[in-house]
Amino acid sequence: MPDILHKVGIKAPPEDAFKALGALEGMAGWWTKDTTGESKPGGVIHFRFGDRGFIDMKVLDLDPGKRVLWEVIDGPGAWIGTKVMFDLVEDGDFTTVLFKHQGWKEAGEFMHHCTTKWGLFLMSLRSFVESGSGAPYPDDVHVSYNGD
């Protein structure tokens, strides 16, 4: 099954990147401001994107400074059952984020869209970790002319 892959380097230690991925206020700083729920193994996080939709993630793994792994339990049909993983690799004072959204059933147009959009959200993550200022929904960078 096809996966979405990304890699972004962050000028910060893994602990800082982990905060932005493992804590609700971190996720709200780069993905969507409307983030609620419980970020702990077995917990469910609710990501809301206004009238653009929503995603509910179950936390499968939360390994401080190293890995965050979510499973999509509700949201867009093509996302349900897929997994989203962030692996953090320390490199001196820097961190490499290896991202994988795995388990897509079909490499269709929506997967094309989500690939580009994930890349921009990861740039938002980098900016948030490095400077405290990201571009989460509703201030996200659009990749379509209809506002997505």
Binding residues for its own copies, rule: CB under 8 A, are 2-11, 94, 96, 98-100, 107, 109, 111-113, 115-116, 119-120, 122-123, 141-146
135-144 as b/e: b if 16+ CB within 10 A: bbbeebeeee
Q: Which is nearer to its own copies, 27 or 125 (CB)?
A: 125
Q: Which is nearer to its own copies, 45 or 69 (CB)?
A: 69
Q: Which is nearer to its own copies, 63 or 106 (CB)?
A: 106
Length of the chain: 148
Contacts of 63 (CB under 8 A, 6+ apart): none
* Nearest distance from C-beta of residue 36 to its own copies, angstroms: 28
Rounded Cα distance between 145 and 6, Å, is 23
